[in-house]
A = this chain, B = another copy of it.
Amino acid sequence: MPVLKKTKQELVSEFRCREILEAACKVFARKGFSGATVDEIAEAAGLAKGTVYLYFRSKREIYLAALKRGFTGLIDETRRNMEAAPTTAAKLKAFITTRLRYAEENRDFVAIYHAEFSNVGMAYLGKEFRHLYLQQARALEAVLREGCEQGCIRRSLPAGALGLVVYEMTRGLIMQRLLGWSRATSDEDTEFLFDLLWKGVSADGG
* A residues neighboring B (CB under 8 Å): 29, 32-34, 110-112, 114-116, 118-122, 124, 156-158, 161-162, 164-165, 167-169, 171-173, 175-176, 178-179, 181-182, 184, 189, 192-193, 195-197, 199-201, 205-206
- 30 A-B contact pairs sorted by A residue (CB < 8 Å): A29-B120, A32-B120, A32-B124, A34-B34, A112-B120, A118-B118, A156-B195, A157-B192, A157-B195, A158-B184, A161-B182, A161-B184, A162-B192, A162-B196, A164-B172, A164-B173, A164-B176, A165-B172, A165-B196, A168-B168, A168-B169, A168-B172, A168-B175, A169-B169, A169-B172, A172-B172, A196-B200, A199-B199, A199-B205, A200-B200
**Oligomer: number of copies:** 2
Bound Cα distance A61, B189 (Å) = 37
Interface of A, helix, strand, loop or mixed by DSSP? helix
Residues of B close to A192: CB separation below 8 A: 157-158, 161-162
Please name 9 further chain A to chain B contacts, defined as beta carbons within 8 Å, in addition to the given A165-B169, A169-B172, sorted by A numbering: A34-B34, A114-B120, A115-B118, A158-B192, A161-B176, A161-B184, A164-B173, A168-B172, A205-B205
Interchain CB contact under 8 A, A119 and B124? no
